[in-house]
Chains A and B, each alone.
Chain A
Amino acid sequence: MDEMINRKNMSLSFFESKRKVRILKIILVYLVLIVGLLVVLLPFIWTLSTSLKPLEEAFLWPPSFTPSKFMWSNYLQALEKLDMLKCTVNTLEVTFGALIGALLSNSLVAFGFARLRSPWRDTIFAIVLATMMLPYQVTLIPLYIIYKELHWLDTFKPLIVPAYFGNPFYIFLLRQFFLGIPKEYDEAALIDGCSYPRIYWSIILPMARPVLITVGIFSFMGSWNDLMGPLIILSSYEKHTLALRLAVFRQDVFSYALNFTILAAASIMVTLPLIVIFFLAQKYFIRGVVVSGLKG
């Protein structure tokens, strides 16, 4: 009898300790997660705090996280000094110009690779994938010369037009999705006398909404964040995109020290739209990253 009670106690304490280990593990996980999070968010928080400080406070020692008063005027000054509204209009023009091209051209090409048969298909698709490995620097310089001859320098054309001619990464993403749509749809439509363009436009595209959103987000971010393209193409000040203006403003040593807080405000404003888009369309974004990473 005594022995039995003892045994019961033992097993109880065994469970007890197992539960304790579990709780301890959860606490540990949270601890690591939170410390990591602080590291990840530090640059955002610190820049945000800098962007709201009066200029002299940005140079205080020891530094403080909370501004003594919130200088929202830094943001207005940033808008004005970097002429950000004009830059935003430029950036949007480039971004949406390229976005439409990316959606149109890549979905057409991907439809060809995913839904139509040709003896050349696999060979050509292999070439498409191979071009992903090409460093862009190889075509950067000759394209610059070509754009110069075409009088395209200092216009948005070099930043928009190439998007209408396919991008291997987006073709891959879209093709992967199209392959998952049952072939029966096409066959039924063909029997009903549908042409391939009709199948592409009225059957496949409406079903491909999620992946089109993914490609749209990638294209948007690519244009919004691009520095190299605008840097070599756009020379006149009033044509700058946001990324280029930010980089140029930062490299101006004189304005750097004088406009510490303004630069901070400007970089927060340039980043914010992307963060908002990311929060709204996370699902589509992550799916694109994962598909390219796991199947690429």
Chain B
Amino acid sequence: MRLKSYKGSALTRYENRWFFIFILPWILGFIFFQIGPMIFSLIMSLCNWEIIAAPQFIGLDNYKTFWTDPLIRQSFKVTFLYSLMTIPTGIVLGVLLALLMNQAVKGITMFRTLYYLPAVTSAVSAAILWIFVFDPQYGILNFLLLKFLGIKGPPWFGSETWALPALAIMTLWGIGGSMIIYLAALQSIPTQLYEAAEIDGANSVQQFFRITLPMLTPAIFFNLVMGIIGALQAFTQAFVTTNGGPANATLFYALYLYNNAFRYYQMGYASALAWMLLLVIFIITRVVFKTSNWVYYEVGT
């Protein structure tokens, strides 16, 4: 019905045609760089595809292997532990830091800029900077630990126990990215809310939990979702520093996927892993969205 009446007007038809001309780059990209390759990938995931030999159709075998592959279990464990170390800490630290950056003291913009620097540092360079810090013998971190706390530092990237926490520390170092988002959210809270609370006699702790925190929940939610997706796709840091070791202690899911595709040339199996990744991301974001009743949305937005 709507389509019919729309078809009637020459001007809207003209506009509609131009609409499709303008979005044409995206449509072509969607077909050739997304949907097309995705269909191809789905077919590959049903094959034994070793690049050099002709592909063989093997049905769901790759997906069956997925459930029995011990390294899959390991990579999920690594990814999960890493998420646990980085996401909650990242949210708490990010909010606290944003509160700090929201203080009206002299020079605060300079602090904001400098705190943000790690977020613009290339992942490869950042990883290398931290290699120097974490170096067990010549690194500065273990020296500081010994000097100020009297602790003999662990071998970090060389240790099965400490390699993953070291990567988590590296990630938390880039907290400036989420801090900026919290800060913007803080600054968009209407001041009348605080004024009204002041008149009602609410103290600053009450104001934080009743006004600030609820108003920050959309930003927290955004960073939570991004954090989960980021953890599931974490690759560069681990690739540069530990390459999955020692003893697979930092074998992230995305790293294992890369290894299958481009080191073992198991293109079919790697495609199946990619589809399982898509599925996992889909399920987790669904669950997060379904349980997001703690997120406060202003009426009208």
Give the interface size class of chain B: 35 or more
A242 and B71 alpha carbons, distance in the complex (Å): 32
CB of B18 within 8 A of CB of A224, answer no
Main SS at interface, chain B: helix
In the complex the two chains form, is B15's CB within 8 Å of A117's CB?
A: yes
Contact of A135 among B125, B267, B274 (CB under 8 A): B274
Does the CB pair B37–A143 fall under 8 Å?
A: yes
- Interface residue? B66 (CB, 8 A): no
Q: Cβ of A37: which chain B residues have Cβ within 8 Å of it?
A: 111, 114-115
| Cβ–Cβ < 8 Å partners of A1 in chain B | none
Q: Are B124 and A227 in contact (CB under 8 A)?
A: yes
For B76, the chain A residues whose CB sits under 8 A away are none
CB of A193 within 8 Å of the partner chain:
no
Can you list 16 A-B contacts (CB < 8 A)? Answer: A33-B108, A36-B115, A40-B176, A41-B114, A43-B118, A43-B133, A46-B139, A108-B24, A109-B25, A118-B20, A135-B232, A138-B274, A141-B261, A165-B30, A166-B26, A227-B235
**Chain A positions within 8 Å of B159 at CB level:** none
Chain A minimum-CB-distance residue to B119? A289
How far is the CB of A275 from the nearest CB of chain B, in Å? Answer: 6
- Bound CA–CA A47/B134 (angstroms): 11
Q: Are B261 and A140 in contact (CB under 8 A)?
A: yes
A residues bordering B, Cβ < 8 Å? 26, 29-30, 32-33, 36-37, 39-44, 46-47, 50, 58-63, 65, 104-105, 108-109, 111-113, 116-121, 124, 127-128, 131, 133-146, 162, 164-166, 171, 196, 200, 221, 224-225, 227-228, 231-232, 243, 246-247, 250-251, 260, 263-264, 267-268, 270-271, 274-275, 278-279, 282, 285-286, 289-290, 293-294, 296
* Cα–Cα, bound, A105→B22 (Å): 9
Query: With an 8 A cutoff between CB atoms, is B162 at the interface?
Result: no
For window 108-154 of B, CB contacts with A under 8 Å fall at 108, 111, 113-118, 120-133, 137-140, 143, 147
